[in-house]
Structure 1
Amino acid sequence: MRCSWIFAFCLLTGCAAYQPKPLDPARLAQRFDQRSLADPALRVYIERESGRPLPVQWDAHMLALAAGFYNPALAIAQAQQQAAQGSLETAGARPNPTLAFPFEYELNHHDGGHPYTTGPALSWPIETAGKRPARIALAQAQADAVRMNTLGTAWKIRSQVRAAFRAVFVATLSGELLAARVDWARRSVELLQHRLQAGAVGAPDLRRQQLVLAQAESERSSNRIALASARAQLATAIGVPVAALDAVKLDFGELAHPVLAPAPADARRAAIEHRADLRAALADYEAGQAALRLEIAKQYPDVQIGAGYTYDVGANKISFGLGGVTLPLFDRNQGGIAQAEAKRSELAARVEALQEAVLNELDNSSVRYRESRAAAERAALQLATAGRQRDAAQASFATGGADRLELSQAQLDYESHAIAYLNAVAAMQDAAAQLEDAIQQPLPPDAVALNLTPSGSAP
Structure 2
Amino acid sequence: MNVANATLTARPGWMPRILASSRAWLLVVCCATLSACAFDHYDARPISASAIVDTINERSLASADLRDFIERHAMRASSDWPPTRWNLDTLTLAALYYNADLDTARARLATAQASIKTAAQRPNPSLQLPFQRTLNPKGGDSPWTLGIALDIPIQTAGKRGYRIDQATHFASAARLDVANIAWSVRSQLRTQLLNLWSANARTDLLKQQLELDQRMNTMLEKRVLLGDASARELNQQRLALIQAQADLLNAQRQTSAARVLIANVLGLRSGALDGLDIDLTDFGRPYASLPAPEIRLQALLNRADVLSGLAQYEASQAALQLEVAKQYPDIHLGPGYTFDQGLHKLGLDFTNLVLPIFHRNEGPIAEARARRLEAEAQVRRLEAQALGETDGAITAYQATRSIVKRNEEQVSMQGRQFLAARRSFEVGQTDRMALTLAERTELAARLALQDAEFQMQQAIGRLEDAIQRPLSDPDAGANPSHWVK
User: For the superposition of Structure 1 and Structure 2, which TM-score range results when normalised by the shorter chain?
Assistant: over 0.9
The residue number in structure 2 matching 1:252 is 280
The residue number in structure 1 matching 2:104 is 76
Amino acid at match of 1:137: D
- Per-residue deviation at 1:428? 1.1
The one of 260, 264, 268 aligned to 2:297: 268
The residue number in structure 1 matching 2:466 is 438
CA distance in 2, matches of 1:98, 1:192: 99
CA distance in 1, matches of 2:167, 2:68: 34
CA offsets per residue over residues 158-215 of structure 1, 9 Å max, x none? Answer: 1111111101100111111111111110111111001101111000110111111111
- Per-residue deviation at 1:298? 0.7
CA distance in 2, matches of 1:137, 1:250: 46
Please state whether the residue corresponding to 1:320 is helix, strand or coil.
Answer: strand
1:203 lines up with 2:231 in the alignment: yes
The one of 172, 196, 202 aligned to 1:174: 202
The one of 77, 87, 91 aligned to 1:52: 77
CA distance in 2, matches of 1:340, 1:355: 23
1:117 lines up with 2:145 in the alignment: yes
The residue number in structure 2 matching 1:225 is 253
Unaligned runs of 5+ in 2: 1-25, 475-485
CA distance in 2, matches of 1:306, 1:60: 65
The residue number in structure 1 matching 2:52 is 28
Distance 1:386 1:184, change over 3 A: same
56-65 or 316-325, which moves further after superposition? 316-325
Amino acid at match of 1:361: E
The residue number in structure 2 matching 1:18 is 42
The residue number in structure 2 matching 1:455 is none
Q: List aligned pairs for 1:353-364, cutoff 5 A.
A: 353-364=381-392
The residue number in structure 1 matching 2:34 is 9
Q: List aligned pairs for 1:230-241, cutoff 5 A.
A: 230-241=258-269
- Per-residue deviation at 1:308? 2.9
1:301 lines up with 2:325 in the alignment: no
Amino acid at match of 2:209: R
1:422 lines up with 2:450 in the alignment: yes
- Per-residue deviation at 1:316? 5.8
The residue number in structure 2 matching 1:452 is none
Please state whether the residue corresponding to 2:238 is helix, strand or coil.
Answer: helix
CA distance in 2, matches of 1:225, 1:431: 24
CA distance in 2, matches of 1:82, 1:152: 16
Distance 1:191 1:97, change over 3 A: same
CA distance in 2, matches of 1:365, 1:234: 24
CA distance in 2, matches of 1:415, 1:232: 29
CA offsets per residue over residues 114-151 of structure 1, 9 Å max, x none? Answer: 41212332211000111111111111111111111111
Q: List aligned pairs for 1:309-458, cutoff 5 A.
A: 309-310=337-338, 317-444=345-472
* Identity over aligned pairs, percent: 36
The residue number in structure 2 matching 1:185 is 213
CA distance in 1, matches of 2:160, 2:473: 50
Give the alignment's TM-score, normalised by structure 2.
0.88
CA offsets per residue over residues 378-427 of structure 1, 9 Å max, x none? Answer: 21221122222223333333333332222221222122111111111111
CA distance in 1, matches of 2:89, 2:434: 44
- Per-residue deviation at 1:313? 6.9
Give the length in aligned residue pairs. 444
Please state whether the residue corresponding to 1:141 is helix, strand or coil.
Answer: helix
Amino acid at match of 2:423: A
Please state whether the residue corresponding to 2:469 is helix, strand or coil.
Answer: coil
Amino acid at match of 1:215: Q
Give the alignment's TM-score, normalised by structure 1.
0.92
Please state whether the residue corresponding to 1:257 is helix, strand or coil.
Answer: coil
Please state whether the residue corresponding to 1:119 is helix, strand or coil.
Answer: strand
Please state whether the residue corresponding to 2:274 is helix, strand or coil.
Answer: helix
1:260–1:445 contact (8 Å) kept in structure 2: no
The residue number in structure 2 matching 1:43 is 67
CA offsets per residue over residues 344-382 of structure 1, 9 Å max, x none? Answer: 112112212221221122111112112212211221221
- Per-residue deviation at 1:445? 6.8
The one of 133, 147, 150 aligned to 2:178: 150
Please state whether the residue corresponding to 1:57 is helix, strand or coil.
Answer: coil
CA distance in 2, matches of 1:69, 1:385: 48
Which structure would you say has the larger Rg? 2
Amino acid at match of 2:267: G
1:182–1:216 contact (8 Å) kept in structure 2: yes
CA distance in 2, matches of 1:5, 1:297: 35
CA distance in 1, matches of 2:314, 2:473: 37
Amino acid at match of 2:40: A
- Per-residue deviation at 1:302? 0.5
Amino acid at match of 1:33: N
CA distance in 2, matches of 1:105, 1:310: 17
CA distance in 1, matches of 2:279, 2:429: 42
CA distance in 2, matches of 1:227, 1:181: 18
Distance 1:445 1:280, change over 3 A: closer
RMSD of the TM alignment (CA)?
1.8
CA offsets per residue over residues 282-318 of structure 1, 9 Å max, x none? Answer: 1111111111101101111111112234566776654
